[in-house]
Amino acid sequence: MASNPMAEDIIVIEGLHKYFGDVAAVCGFDLRVKTGEVVVIVGPSGSGKSTVLRCINHLEVPTMGAVYVDGIHLEDKETDINEVRAEVGMVFQQFNLFGHLSVLDNVVLAQRLVRKRSRDEAETVAMEQLQRVGIPEKANAFPRQLSGGQQQRVAIACSLAMNPKIMLFDEPTSALDPEMIKEVLDVMLDSARAGMTMVVVTHEMGFARSAADRVVFMDKGCIVETDSPDKLFSTPEHERTKLFLSKIISH
Amino acid sequence: MAVDAERMTQQSEGRFNARAFPWWLVAIIGFLAIMLALIITNPDYNRAFNFIKGGLGSFSDLLAGDLAAFIGRGLSMTIYVTLVAFAVALLIGLLAGLGRISGNVVIRNVAITYIEFIRGVPTLVLIFTVALVLVPTVSDTLGLANQVISNPTRAIISLAIIYGAFLAEVFRAGIESVPHGQMEAARSLGLNSRQAMRHVILPQAIRNVLPALGNDFIAMLKDSSLVSVLAVRDITQQARLYAGSTFRFRESYLVLTFLYLSMTIALSLILRWYERRLKQDGK
């Protein structure tokens, strides 16, 4: 790629295309995220939001285009993707906690294998993070004994325990019962206020309003418009954005 | 049907339920009890039993640390062949199962060739082929004398190679039963694919297939009788020898049946209990 990513842009996505067979999920997506910035991606289902997010930690390989994380070109053959992923936390819609491990061991596992921390150190960090997400008393429980909201908070603790530079959230509240959404959003908000760089795919417009520096509206694999949450939600420029917002806010 | 029966037991907990009661188990235990009574009281059955089991064990054998003599040479051969062959088969099966789903074309095809080859040939034929063709060929190539490898070892190698192919499919199914999100979550945290397989996927996969592995262990215990064709003196071979020399076919083979059935029923009851516990834990 011709353009060199600027130093303060911790995530740079240039001309991203992703095809699944003949189906174009993302076609021509550009985004730059500064350190400490919170970017929320919204849009109708199938608009390619999750695919973009999954390209940022290389869970999906772009068909065309380039993704740089902290100046490292992910598609470069020389890149050790595991090193990059250690710096990029990912929170999934389905939590994906490891069912055979206790909550504490879930948070400890990657710290030991990837960060090479001693058991004592990893457990100390794990307890700090569980404290932070508000469920230290569940350290010895197993994931299946927890509610969805609790599981998702543990998943966030797992990522935060790695001290990542970036956190990615892929519809973190979409699989939750309504009364559990707030507890997860509160943890995310706390993380955002602490200065974490975050890219969030969500349908929670309230979260976007209070936490986002920028909102990106996507449709059919492209960016329709991007703006501060206040402007995008109150005075959207494009018809497509207006239509989408009218549909989700009218109830 | 099975689900219905279970529901009925739960509803009428504590009360006798003739529809859900395991009558089959009563019948089998009844057969085993009659056989046991015959072995104890009838001298013909008693002699057959002692010969097939492979000698009469005494507590002095146990004190001397000779476990094989205590439980009987024939019975201990059956158990020994089954345990060792199954342990080796677990290892082969795990490797072949991982190879089966490997991204590497060569490894994957080698694994599939092995699995399909074994599954396409009858067990008895494979035992002959492995013990009398493959083992001599390999030992010749390695420059070993053919006699170095004993018959029980050949039997173990044969059974391990055969069951490795079946267990490979069990392990593959187990690995595929773990949701894809587990691998994605592990990789997202920076684990490499080997770490993710070892610390995240395999522990859950193995837990999922433990009942299937148990069933294959029982099948292996039964198939270990086939090694009698290699003159390995397991209980089947002992029964054949006894029947051949005394013409007491009824006693020989009923006692042999009794021995296998008591072992397999005990194992299968343990397995049922374990599966039920697993189901309760999972919910």
Asked if the model's pLDDT at residue A4 lies above 50, the reply is no
A162 close to A168: Cβ distance less than 8 angstroms = no
Comparing A101-110, A216-225, B136-145, B155-164, which segment has the lowest mean pLDDT?
A: B136-145
Split at pLDDT 50, 70, 90, the class of A1 is: very low
Please tell me if residue A100 touches chain B, with a CB cutoff of 8 Å.
yes
Rounded Cα distance between B166 and B117, Å, is: 11
Termini Cα distance of chain A: 45
Pairs of CB atoms within 8 A across A/B: 64
Q: Are A154 and A143 in contact (CB under 8 A)?
A: yes
Average pLDDT over residues A136-148: 94
Residues in B closer than 8 angstroms to A113, CB to CB, are 191, 195, 199
Q: For tokens 């051949």, name the residue.
A: B244
Query: Would you list the DSSP string of B120-176?
Result: TS-HHHHHHHIIIIIHHHHHHHTT--GGGS-HHHHHHHHHHHHHHHHHHHHHHHHHH
Contacts of A155 in chain B (CB under 8 A): 185
Phi, psi of B242 (to 5 degrees): -65, -45
Kindly state the tokens that stand for A151.
């599981």
Residue B227 · residue B81 · CB < 8 Å: yes
**Cα nearest neighbour of A160 on chain B:** B189
Chain A environment of B184 (Cβ under 8 Å)? 59, 90, 92, 96
Q: Is B195 on the interface with A (CB under 8 A)?
A: yes
Strands (E) in A130-203, as ranges, are 166-170, 197-201
What band does A5 get if pLDDT is binned at 50, 70 and 90? very low
Q: How many CB atoms lie within 10 A of CB A132?
A: 18
Instruction: Say whether residue A150 is in contact with chain B using an 8 A CB cutoff.
Output: no
**pLDDT range class, residue A2, cuts 50, 70, 90:** very low
Spatial contact of A71 and A84, defined as CB atoms under 8 Å apart: no
Q: Is B109 on the interface with A (CB under 8 A)?
A: no
Q: What is the pLDDT of residues A35-71, one digit of tens each?
A: 999 999 999 988 999 999 999 999 999 999 999 999 9
Q: Rg of the Cα trace of chain B? A: 23
Test B181 with A94 for CB contact under 8 angstroms: yes
Residue B188 forms contact with A (CB below 8 Å): yes
Q: Which positions in chain B touch A114 (Cβ < 8 Å)?
A: 189-191
Closest CA to A94 of B247, B181, B172: B181
The answer to whether B182 contacts chain A (CB < 8 Å) is yes
List chain A residues with CB under 8 Å of B191.
82, 109-110, 113-114
CB contact under 8 A, A100 and B207: yes
User: Mean pLDDT for chain A?
Assistant: 91
What's the pLDDT tens digit per position in B194-237? 999 999 999 999 999 999 999 999 999 999 999 999 988 999 99
Whether residue B185 and residue A144 make contact (CB cut-off 8 A), yes or no, is no
Determine contact: A167 vs chain B, CB below 8 A: no
> Model pTM?
0.84
| Residue A72 C-alpha from the chain's centroid | 18
Cα of B266 to nearest chain A Cα, Å: 28
Residue A156 has pLDDT above 80, yes or no: yes
Q: Please report residues of A whose CB lies closer than 8 A to that of B195.
A: 113
Kindly state whether A163 is in contact with chain B, defined as any CB-CB distance less than 8 angstroms: no
Instruction: List CB contacts (< 8 A) between B279 and chain A.
Output: none
**Collapsing DSSP states into helix, strand and coil, what is residue B148?**
helix
Phi, psi of B34, deg, nearest 5: -60, -45
pLDDT in single tens digits along all 283 residues of chain B: 445 555 555 555 567 888 888 899 999 999 999 999 999 999 999 999 988 887 666 666 666 767 777 778 889 999 999 999 999 999 999 999 999 999 899 999 999 999 999 999 999 999 999 999 999 898 888 887 767 788 999 999 999 999 999 999 999 999 999 999 999 999 999 999 999 999 999 999 999 999 999 999 999 999 999 999 998 899 999 999 999 999 999 999 999 999 999 999 999 999 999 888 877 776 4
Strand locations in chain A, DSSP E?
9-20, 23-34, 38-42, 64-69, 72-73, 88-91, 166-170, 197-201, 214-219, 222-227
A97 touching chain B per CB within 8 A: yes
Please identify which residue in the block is written with the tokens 């599939």.
B112
Closest chain A residue to B181 measured between Cα atoms?
Answer: A96
